[in-house]
């Protein structure tokens, strides 16, 4: 056992799970073990944990619902930080909502609709957490987090607690300042507007129907694998190249949506990585376009 695992276990940092398989924590259902998975349940535990990680220079990464992540078969060395149930809350107030990092972004959009708040409709199909959505500036249907973001409470990698406004977040396409300055979102506040429940519900129903018809929601996957290149769509390029249905081991380019790779049951991370590389190579040679992954590939190779 790493000495630092004992150190973490002896301090108030939340649950410490040693050599924990990460496959069950990702929507791809793929991934080897983390040396330690630590699950803080409140702000104090999270700050204690991050300060210890910084002081003892322990390598770490964060995990939400794992809906945009491919964990290597050998797993992750160091600590994986996953906000626990204590961060799963949402408090609606005049002008918007404040939600914890572990709260489901889909659930947040559904409850907002029931309360007749508009602005979160695009989130009804984003299967991650609030923390992950902020980190990625998640978006769909022509909108994204930056459109409604007001501020977030964040623990920086030094252990410093800060509150970042929209201007601080450096939002861009699937990007935030947290890609460049490491930190963990504790909670975020979004600015919403009053709306008509019927209009909001109809919009979300249309989005849901479109997803049902075009995405392999019944299979283990991680959503869009590649970012859309300027002026085009990754799915269109992949489908035009005749790559729909292509397989590698237990991984397959979805027959429903060409920018989805699905786990047919026994896929490994290497299966998915190989398939991604084959797609990139084909699109590059045929179109001269370098497809950039939207998913994060993490862990020891």
Active site residues: 174, 224, 294
Using alpha carbons only, give the angle 293, 297, 301 rounded to the nearest 5 degrees: 135
The partner residues of 149 in beta bridges, in order of sequence, read 190
CB-based burial label for 91 (10 Å; 0-12, 13-18, 19+):
exposed
Rounded distance between C-alpha atoms, residue 58 and residue 63, angstroms: 16
Rounded distance between C-alpha atoms, residue 33 and residue 13, angstroms: 20
Rounded distance between C-alpha atoms, residue 152 and residue 183, angstroms: 11
Rounded distance between C-alpha atoms, residue 239 and residue 116, angstroms: 39
Length of the chain: 301
User: What are the backbone angles phi and psi of residue 237, rounded to the nearest 5°?
Assistant: -65, -45
Rounded distance between C-alpha atoms, residue 257 and residue 8, angstroms: 43
- Give per-residue burial for 202-234: e unless 16+ CB within 10 Å, then b: ebbeebeeeeeeebbeebbbbbbbbbbbeeeeb
The partner residues of 24 in beta bridges, in order of sequence, read none
């Amino acid at each position: 056992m790493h000495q630092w695992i004992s150190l973490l276990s002896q301090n108030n940092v939340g649950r410490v799970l040693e050599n924990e398989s990460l496959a069950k924590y990702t929507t791809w259902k793929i991934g080897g073990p983390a040396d330690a998975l630590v699950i803080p349940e409140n702000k104090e535990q999270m700050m204690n944990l991050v300060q210890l990680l910084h002081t003892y220079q322990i390598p770490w990464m964060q995990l939400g619902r794992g809906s945009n992540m491919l964990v290597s078969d050998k797993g992750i060395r160091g600590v994986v930080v996953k906000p626990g149930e204590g961060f799963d809350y949402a408090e609606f107030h005049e002008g918007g909502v404040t939600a914890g990092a572990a709260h489901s972004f889909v659930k947040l959009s559904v409850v907002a609709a029931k309360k007749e708040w508009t602005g979160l409709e695009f989130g009804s199909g984003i299967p991650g957490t609030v923390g992950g959505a902020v980190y990625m500036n998640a978006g769909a249907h022509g909108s994204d987090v930056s459109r409604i973001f007001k501020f977030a409470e964040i623990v920086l990698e030094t252990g410093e607690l800060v509150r970042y406004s929209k201007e601080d977040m450096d939002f861009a396409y699937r990007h935030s300042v947290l890609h460049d300055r490491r930190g963990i979102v504790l909670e975020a506040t979004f600015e919403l507007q009053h709306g008509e429940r019927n209009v909001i519900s109809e919009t979300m129903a249309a989005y849901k129907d479109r997803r049902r018809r075009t995405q392999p929601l019944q299979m283990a996957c991680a959503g869009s694998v590649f970012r859309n290149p300027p002026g085009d769509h990754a799915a269109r390029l992949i489908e035009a190249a005749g790559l729909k249905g292509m397989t590698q081991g237990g991984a397959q380019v979805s027959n429903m949506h060409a920018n989805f790779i699905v786990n047919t049951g026994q896929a490994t991370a290497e299966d998915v990585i190989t398939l991604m590389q084959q797609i990139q190579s084909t699109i590059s040679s045929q179109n001269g376009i370098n497809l950039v992954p939207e998913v994060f590939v993490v862990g020891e190779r």
